[in-house]
Amino acid sequence: MGSISAEVASASIELLEVRHAFSTDVLALSDFTLSIAPREFVSIIGPSDCGKTTVLNLVAGLLPVQTGTIIVAGAAPTAGHHDVAYMLARDCLYPWLTAQQNAEMGNRVRRMKPAECSHRARALLHAVGLKGFEDSYPKQLSHGMRQRAALARTFAMLSPVLLMDEPFGALDAQTKLVLGELLDRLWEHEQRTVLFITHDLAEAIALSDRVIVMSRRPGRIIANVKIPLPRPRSVRAMQKDPQFHEIYAQLWTLLEQALTEEFVEDSI
Ligand SMILES: Nc1ncnc2c1ncn2[C@@H]1O[C@H](COP(=O)(O)OP(=O)(O)OP(=O)(O)O)[C@@H](O)[C@H]1O
Ligand SMILES: [Mg+2]
């Protein structure tokens, strides 16, 4: 099976003084500077409408850079670039393809050999607990199973950079926990550079090396919190760790401050 360790080693993400306006009335981002190291898992939290998805869309090359500089894996962002895989909250499987075909899709369009494509997709579907459902269509799967398949497809792609926009946001708490732990296991096994958006503080702490807190729109970074907890992590086990609760309380306070627009010192 292919490996991407060499590509990931140079897959940093840099945003320097990025500003993005959708109109004269809607300034989404202002003075947004963030540097993510290769293999780092960084989450962004912040109030609704603060520009989180805009950050991901800029990094993915889906929006043009208006002001500032963005470098992804050594190059300017380009839509559809094979270095970047993007996973969304909403169900993004093709309804006319089976779970296996969906999991193969990203690599097929990137011209991976069919046998390798098939092998990788199957291995990832098994890793996310969908063994036996390879030939099921999305409508035959539950919402949680569809997000597992989407997670398998995302990891099947040999993209060193993963962008994830609330991928488990619409799931129930229990399924969310299970999928978060699956993501943690997949990432431990084959590390990528990840930029992850969530509204769930426990999820952000469990998965991340660092959590970025954004202000209200126009979004800028008001805090940068390192998560020193040992890996592998589990939300369930972390519930017993006082340090987890301290970080949770710290992030909660920062989010409250984000809502009132107060500037918070960089906490690195
Ligand atoms: N393509 C677009 N055209 C016009 N305005 C847009 C577009 N995309 C986003 N916006 C505006 O930019 C602002 C930030 O939107 P964005 O989706 O980045 O917020 P968000 O932080 O992801 O919010 P949420 O947590 O609710 O997903 C919003 O006011 C939104 O209306
Ligand atoms: Mg969003």
Give the domains, in start order, of the chain with CATH numbers: 1-83+161-173+193-268 (3.40.50.300)
Cα(17) to centroid of ligand 1, in Å?
Answer: 19
Ligand 1 near 48 CB (within 6 A): yes
- pLDDT tens digit sequence for 11-21: 999 999 999 99
More confident residue, 236 or 149: 149
Task: Identify residues whose C-beta is under 5 A from ligand 2, the ion.
Answer: 52-53
Ligand 1 near 50 CB (within 6 A): yes
How large is the average pLDDT for residues 219-237?
90
Tokens of 158: 């040999």
Ligand 1 near 54 CB (within 6 A): yes
Question: What confidence score (pLDDT) does residue 3 get?
Answer: 64
Tokens of 75: 């190059």
- pLDDT tens digit sequence for 65-111: 999 999 999 999 999 888 999 988 776 899 999 999 999 998 888 78
What is the residue whose two structure tokens read 């090359």?
A: 61
Ligand 1 near 51 CB (within 6 A): yes
Rounded distance, CA 95 to CA 76, Å?
A: 32
Question: What confidence score (pLDDT) does residue 67 get?
Answer: 96
Which of 215, 231, 229, 140 lies closest to 181, judged by CA?
231
Helix (H) or strand (E) holding 247: helix 242-259
Percentage of residues of the chain with pLDDT beyond 90? 69
Ligand nearest to the CA of 219: 1
How large is the average pLDDT for residues 107-117?
87
Question: What confidence score (pLDDT) does residue 268 get?
Answer: 41
Ligand 1 near 22 CB (within 6 A): yes
Rounded distance, CA 12 to CA 140, Å?
A: 38
Specify the ligand 1 atom closest to the Cα of 166. Answer: 27
Ligand 1 near 215 CB (within 6 A): no
Mean pLDDT, the chain, integer: 90
Question: What confidence score (pLDDT) does residue 149 get?
Answer: 94
